[in-house]
Amino acid sequence: PPNYSTNFTSSEIEIFFNEYIRLTKLQTELIVSPPIEPLPLIMPMGSAEKLVTISDLDSLKDGTTYSFHFGESIEDNNERNPLINYRYVFSTGEYIDSLKISGFIKDAYEIDSLSFVSIQLYPIDSVFNDSTVYNQKPFYVGNTLDSIYFELNSLAPGKYEFIAIKDKSKNYYFDQSFDKIGFFENPIEIPKDTFFLPVLFKEVTNFQWGISKIVNDHHIEFPY
Protein backbone atom coordinates (compact mmCIF):
# COMPACT_ATOMS: atom_id res chain seq x y z
CA PRO A 1 0.00 0.00 0.00
CA PRO A 2 1.14 3.63 -0.52
CA ASN A 3 2.89 5.41 2.34
CA TYR A 4 0.47 7.01 4.82
CA SER A 5 -2.34 4.60 3.93
CA THR A 6 -5.41 4.30 6.18
CA ASN A 7 -7.69 1.33 6.88
CA PHE A 8 -4.61 -0.89 6.50
CA THR A 9 -5.44 -4.61 6.21
CA SER A 10 -2.46 -5.98 4.24
CA SER A 11 -0.20 -8.77 5.45
CA GLU A 12 2.81 -7.46 3.51
CA ILE A 13 4.32 -4.10 2.54
CA GLU A 14 6.42 -3.57 -0.59
CA ILE A 15 8.63 -0.48 -0.96
CA PHE A 16 10.07 -0.02 -4.46
CA PHE A 17 13.27 1.89 -5.34
CA ASN A 18 14.61 3.05 -8.71
CA GLU A 19 18.09 1.67 -7.97
CA TYR A 20 19.63 -1.19 -6.04
CA ILE A 21 19.80 -0.69 -2.27
CA ARG A 22 21.04 -2.59 0.77
CA LEU A 23 19.70 -2.74 4.31
CA THR A 24 22.38 -2.25 6.99
CA LYS A 25 22.40 -1.87 10.76
CA LEU A 26 18.68 -2.60 11.10
CA GLN A 27 19.10 -3.68 14.73
CA THR A 28 20.32 -0.23 15.77
CA GLU A 29 18.70 2.01 13.15
CA LEU A 30 15.16 0.66 12.67
CA ILE A 31 12.49 1.93 15.06
CA VAL A 32 8.99 0.46 14.89
CA SER A 33 6.45 2.52 16.82
CA PRO A 34 4.37 1.24 18.49
CA PRO A 35 6.50 -1.93 18.82
CA ILE A 36 5.08 -4.96 17.00
CA GLU A 37 5.46 -8.40 18.59
CA PRO A 38 6.78 -10.51 17.03
CA LEU A 39 8.86 -8.13 14.94
CA PRO A 40 7.88 -8.35 11.24
CA LEU A 41 10.26 -9.93 8.74
CA ILE A 42 12.14 -7.29 6.72
CA MET A 43 14.02 -8.21 3.54
CA PRO A 44 16.49 -8.18 1.83
CA MET A 45 19.16 -9.14 4.32
CA GLY A 46 22.72 -8.90 3.01
CA SER A 47 21.88 -8.66 -0.69
CA ALA A 48 21.18 -5.77 -3.06
CA GLU A 49 17.61 -5.38 -4.30
CA LYS A 50 15.25 -2.72 -5.66
CA LEU A 51 12.50 -3.91 -3.33
CA VAL A 52 12.14 -3.86 0.48
CA THR A 53 9.42 -6.12 1.88
CA ILE A 54 7.90 -6.04 5.36
CA SER A 55 5.90 -9.21 6.07
CA ASP A 56 4.37 -11.21 8.93
CA LEU A 57 2.14 -8.30 10.00
CA ASP A 58 -0.18 -10.54 12.02
CA SER A 59 -0.43 -8.74 15.37
CA LEU A 60 -1.51 -5.19 14.51
CA LYS A 61 -3.96 -3.36 16.78
CA ASP A 62 -7.14 -1.79 15.47
CA GLY A 63 -7.33 1.99 15.09
CA THR A 64 -3.57 2.47 15.50
CA THR A 65 -1.01 4.47 13.50
CA TYR A 66 2.26 2.56 12.95
CA SER A 67 5.58 4.05 11.88
CA PHE A 68 8.65 2.25 10.50
CA HIS A 69 11.56 4.68 10.92
CA PHE A 70 14.57 3.32 9.02
CA GLY A 71 17.12 5.88 10.24
CA GLU A 72 20.18 5.47 8.01
CA SER A 73 19.74 1.74 7.37
CA ILE A 74 18.82 2.09 3.65
CA GLU A 75 21.91 2.65 1.46
CA ASP A 76 22.36 2.71 -2.30
CA ASN A 77 24.40 -0.28 -3.41
CA ASN A 78 27.06 1.56 -5.41
CA GLU A 79 28.25 4.47 -3.28
CA ARG A 80 26.62 3.45 0.05
CA ASN A 81 24.93 6.83 0.46
CA PRO A 82 22.18 6.51 3.10
CA LEU A 83 18.56 7.49 2.57
CA ILE A 84 18.34 9.48 5.80
CA ASN A 85 15.31 9.20 8.09
CA TYR A 86 12.97 7.43 5.67
CA ARG A 87 9.62 6.60 7.35
CA TYR A 88 6.84 4.30 6.22
CA VAL A 89 3.59 5.11 8.04
CA PHE A 90 0.15 3.52 7.94
CA SER A 91 -2.97 3.31 10.08
CA THR A 92 -5.30 0.41 10.78
CA GLY A 93 -7.99 3.04 11.43
CA GLU A 94 -9.62 5.75 9.37
CA TYR A 95 -6.97 8.45 9.90
CA ILE A 96 -3.23 8.96 10.50
CA ASP A 97 -2.27 10.37 13.91
CA SER A 98 -0.19 13.46 13.15
CA LEU A 99 0.98 14.96 16.47
CA LYS A 100 4.65 15.02 17.45
CA ILE A 101 7.06 15.86 20.27
CA SER A 102 10.78 16.67 20.19
CA GLY A 103 13.65 17.72 22.41
CA PHE A 104 17.25 17.17 23.52
CA ILE A 105 18.67 14.78 26.13
CA LYS A 106 21.68 15.18 28.42
CA ASP A 107 23.42 13.34 31.21
CA ALA A 108 23.06 14.55 34.79
CA TYR A 109 26.75 14.04 35.63
CA GLU A 110 28.73 13.38 32.45
CA ILE A 111 29.94 16.10 30.07
CA ASP A 112 30.07 13.75 27.09
CA SER A 113 26.79 13.67 25.21
CA LEU A 114 24.70 10.51 25.10
CA SER A 115 23.63 8.81 21.88
CA PHE A 116 21.17 6.07 20.96
CA VAL A 117 18.82 6.91 23.82
CA SER A 118 15.37 5.33 23.65
CA ILE A 119 12.44 7.77 24.12
CA GLN A 120 9.36 5.90 25.33
CA LEU A 121 5.75 6.92 25.94
CA TYR A 122 3.28 4.92 28.05
CA PRO A 123 -0.43 5.86 28.00
CA ILE A 124 -1.74 6.81 31.44
CA ASP A 125 -4.56 4.30 31.94
CA SER A 126 -5.95 1.93 34.53
CA VAL A 127 -3.12 -0.61 34.11
CA PHE A 128 -0.16 1.80 34.29
CA ASN A 129 1.90 1.77 37.50
CA ASP A 130 5.48 2.35 38.66
CA SER A 131 6.61 -1.12 37.55
CA THR A 132 5.31 -0.80 33.98
CA VAL A 133 8.72 0.33 32.65
CA TYR A 134 10.25 -2.91 33.97
CA ASN A 135 7.83 -5.40 32.42
CA GLN A 136 5.89 -3.75 29.57
CA LYS A 137 7.01 -2.29 26.27
CA PRO A 138 6.02 1.31 25.49
CA PHE A 139 3.17 2.27 23.19
CA TYR A 140 5.32 4.83 21.34
CA VAL A 141 9.08 4.67 20.95
CA GLY A 142 11.76 6.81 19.32
CA ASN A 143 15.53 7.17 19.48
CA THR A 144 18.15 9.91 19.42
CA LEU A 145 20.24 7.68 17.12
CA ASP A 146 23.76 9.17 16.99
CA SER A 147 22.81 12.65 18.25
CA ILE A 148 21.21 14.17 21.36
CA TYR A 149 18.08 15.29 19.48
CA PHE A 150 14.91 13.23 19.37
CA GLU A 151 11.59 13.52 17.58
CA LEU A 152 8.54 11.27 17.85
CA ASN A 153 5.93 11.57 15.11
CA SER A 154 2.48 10.18 14.30
CA LEU A 155 1.28 10.42 17.91
CA ALA A 156 -2.30 10.39 19.20
CA PRO A 157 -3.51 13.01 21.72
CA GLY A 158 -3.55 12.00 25.37
CA LYS A 159 -1.62 11.81 28.64
CA TYR A 160 1.58 9.76 28.70
CA GLU A 161 4.38 8.81 31.04
CA PHE A 162 7.61 10.03 29.40
CA ILE A 163 10.66 7.81 29.90
CA ALA A 164 14.14 8.20 28.37
CA ILE A 165 16.45 5.18 28.70
CA LYS A 166 20.02 4.50 27.67
CA ASP A 167 18.78 1.06 26.65
CA LYS A 168 21.90 -1.10 26.55
CA SER A 169 19.96 -4.30 25.87
CA LYS A 170 17.82 -2.58 23.19
CA ASN A 171 14.76 -4.40 24.53
CA TYR A 172 12.61 -1.34 25.50
CA TYR A 173 12.60 -2.42 29.17
CA PHE A 174 14.30 -0.56 32.02
CA ASP A 175 17.12 -2.69 33.44
CA GLN A 176 18.05 -0.95 36.68
CA SER A 177 21.40 -2.74 36.96
CA PHE A 178 22.98 -0.98 33.97
CA ASP A 179 20.54 1.39 32.17
CA LYS A 180 20.44 5.14 32.71
CA ILE A 181 16.98 6.67 32.96
CA GLY A 182 15.32 10.07 32.76
CA PHE A 183 11.69 10.95 33.47
CA PHE A 184 9.41 13.74 34.64
CA GLU A 185 7.50 13.99 37.92
CA ASN A 186 4.17 14.43 36.14
CA PRO A 187 2.73 12.91 32.94
CA ILE A 188 3.02 14.86 29.71
CA GLU A 189 -0.06 15.85 27.74
CA ILE A 190 -0.11 15.82 23.93
CA PRO A 191 -0.66 18.20 22.11
CA LYS A 192 -0.36 20.62 25.04
CA ASP A 193 3.28 19.65 25.68
CA THR A 194 5.59 19.47 22.65
CA PHE A 195 9.24 20.12 23.64
CA PHE A 196 11.26 18.35 26.35
CA LEU A 197 14.73 18.33 27.93
CA PRO A 198 15.06 15.03 29.84
CA VAL A 199 18.13 14.47 32.04
CA LEU A 200 19.46 10.92 32.40
CA PHE A 201 21.09 9.45 35.50
CA LYS A 202 22.04 6.04 36.90
CA GLU A 203 19.76 4.88 39.69
CA VAL A 204 21.13 3.17 42.78
CA THR A 205 20.33 -0.51 42.34
CA ASN A 206 17.74 -1.90 44.77
CA PHE A 207 19.27 -3.96 47.59
CA GLN A 208 18.95 -7.69 46.97
CA TRP A 209 20.24 -10.79 48.68
CA GLY A 210 21.96 -13.53 46.71
CA ILE A 211 21.99 -17.23 47.62
CA SER A 212 23.94 -17.95 50.82
CA LYS A 213 26.22 -20.97 51.07
CA ILE A 214 28.49 -22.74 53.53
CA VAL A 215 32.16 -22.37 52.56
CA ASN A 216 33.57 -24.54 55.39
CA ASP A 217 32.77 -25.44 59.02
CA HIS A 218 33.47 -21.90 60.27
CA HIS A 219 32.67 -19.78 57.22
CA ILE A 220 29.29 -18.87 55.70
CA GLU A 221 29.01 -16.61 52.64
CA PHE A 222 26.10 -14.11 52.24
CA PRO A 223 26.24 -12.44 48.82
CA TYR A 224 24.34 -9.26 48.05
What are the residues whose beta carbons fall under 8 Å from the beta carbon of 107, sequence distance 6 or more?
A: 113, 114, 180, 199, 200, 201
The beta strands (E) that lie in 98-187 are given as 99-104, 106-107, 118-123, 140-143, 149-155, 158-166, 180-183
First to last CA, the chain: 55
- Cα(78)–Cα(58) distance, integer angstroms: 35
User: CA nearest 146: which of 105, 114, 110?
Assistant: 114
The whole-number pLDDT of residue 126 equals 64
Task: Please give the distance of CA 17 from its chain centroid, rounded to a whole number.
Answer: 26
Quote the pTM value.
0.76
Q: Are 72 and 147 in contact (CB under 8 A)?
A: no
Order of strands, sheet of 12-23, starting from the edge strand that comes earlier in the sequence: 41-43, 49-55, 12-23, 74-76
Give pLDDT, residue 27: 82
User: Mean pLDDT of residues grouped by 10 in the chain (224 residues)?
Assistant: 95 94 87 88 90 92 93 90 90 95 92 84 81 86 87 93 90 88 94 94 85 92 91
| Beta carbons of 45 and 66 less than 8 angstroms apart | no
Dihedrals phi, psi of 32, to nearest 5 degrees:
-105, 120
What is the pLDDT at residue 191? 94
Helix (H, G, I), strand (E, B) or coil at 212: coil
User: Which residue type sits at 45?
Assistant: M
